[in-house]
Amino acid sequence: MSDSVNAWADALESVIAWKQRQRAEHPLTYLFWESTLRCNLFCQHCGSDCLRDDSTAARELAPEIVCAELDAITRQCDPARITFAIIGGEPLVRRDIDAVGAYAASLGYTWGITTNAMLLDQKRLASLKASGLKAIAVSLDGMAEQHDALRRRPGSFLRVSDALRRLVADPFWRTFDVICCVSRLNIDHLEPFVDYLAALGVPRVRLTPVFSRGRADAASGLMLSGEQTRQLLAFIAAQRASRTDIDVTMSEEGYWGPNWECRIRQDFHYCGSGVNIGSILYDGQVIGCPSVSRKFVQGNIRETPFLDIWNNAFTPFRQRDAVAAPQCRACAHWDLCEGGGCHLFDPADSGVETCSLRKIGELWE
Ligand code: SF4
Ligand code: SF4
């Protein structure tokens, strides 16, 4: 074997060994709080269970419950190593997340939000800044025609663009990026979109193919074909190879094999759901990352402290061969892929292809 092949083999071995250590030690580095299921939009492609009405508001966690959990976690873990991410629904529909975030910051956590930015006006941005917010991920799914159609809200593209301009204008917001869900509606319009973001001064865009969850089921007509998925991979690889004005990257989304892994993102595929990433859902249920099926809920903080659940449950996330699709266990890619991301383990539509490599025709044995 040549030196470079040997070096690759060593690098892959160390990735596999590192993943095994993570499983065994499961250090919490990312804690999501799904603050609400309420949302001010009703997007075609939403993968969460979000709602426009207030029917779930009464079951939302009070701020003091979340703050008590944050406190308890600091007694066993170093908060400086944990990012506390507040999501929804749309988190900005709750006014009290600013106070929870401020409390998290006072304990030493870094905190951030993922938002559709419809409520991210100057006043709210100032409040978040005063509360110690450090990271913002803004959802924007293409240029006006595609974004407004997916979001079912004319004018939403312009509103998000205004919020992005505010973020770009203030050097305080060094850590923000755009998340774009790629579907059949926008796959053929990505280049002008990335050009637009770069011209605005957005530092990074994460592209993530729509997956079968929530309203994004097979009947939605949004799912990418295998050919369109390859088109997305090739687009990201070409953008990464050719431009320095914006970082274009594939979001996590499973394992894409030797042809693509090192060309579409900085790091190799790794799903830390339930290993490094835990979530407290709107009603107190505890799960891995918020994208996984609710079938994998591990407990509820209304009954058991988060860290007791984190330390004593989560077996399906840490022993993936027990829950991945049967064909995965005998697959030659298992050590690197492990069945892809956990979010693919229980799709809303059972007929959908969850093996990324098979989908793009590159599942070679
Ligand atoms: S069958 Fe597909 S999803 Fe399963 S381990 Fe192999 S490459 Fe990964
Ligand atoms: S389940 Fe999916 S979205 Fe969640 S951490 Fe794993 S790859 Fe990422």
Residue 331 sits at the vertex; the CA angle it makes with 330 and 337, to the nearest 5 degrees, is 125
Q: Are 207 and 250 in contact (CB under 8 A)?
A: yes
To the nearest whole number, what is the mean pLDDT of the chain? 91
Residue from 19, 268, 342, 358 whose mutation best tests the ligand 1 pocket (most atoms within 8 A of CB): 358
Q: Is 273 in the pocket of ligand 2 (CB under 6 A)?
A: yes
- Banded model confidence at residue 211, pLDDT cuts 50, 70, 90: confident
Q: Are 180 and 209 in contact (CB under 8 A)?
A: no
DSSP 216-231: BSGGGT-PPPHHHHHH
The ligand placed nearest to the CA atom of residue 276 is 2
- Pocket lining for ligand 1, CB < 6 angstroms: 255, 325, 327-328, 331, 333-334, 337, 339-340, 355, 357-358, 363
pLDDT at 46: 65
Q: Is 252 in the pocket of ligand 2 (CB under 6 A)?
A: yes
pTM to 2 decimal places:
0.92
| Phi, psi dihedral angles at 103 (to 5 degrees) | -65, -45
Q: How far apart are CA 206 and CA 311, in angstroms?
A: 31
Helix or strand run (H / E) with residue 279? strand 277-280
Give strand pairing partners of 112.
Answer: 85, 135
Q: How far apart are CA 56 and CA 338, in angstroms?
A: 35
Residue 6 exposed, middle or buried by CB count within 10 Å (0-12, 13-18, 19+): exposed
- pLDDT tens for 130-140 read 999 999 999 99
pLDDT, greater one: 347 or 327: 327
| Phi, psi dihedral angles at 205 (to 5 degrees) | -130, 130
- Banded model confidence at residue 6, pLDDT cuts 50, 70, 90: confident
- pLDDT tens for 297-318 read 999 999 999 999 999 999 999 9
For the beta carbon of residue 169, count every other beta carbon within 10 angstroms: 10
Q: Are 147 and 190 in contact (CB under 8 A)?
A: no
pLDDT at 254: 85
Q: Are 314 and 274 in contact (CB under 8 A)?
A: yes
Q: Is 292 in the pocket of ligand 2 (CB under 6 A)?
A: yes
Burial 175-199 (b: 16+ CB within 10 A, else e): ebbbbbbbbebbbeebeebbebbbe
Cα–Cα nearest to 359, from 280, 256, 271: 256
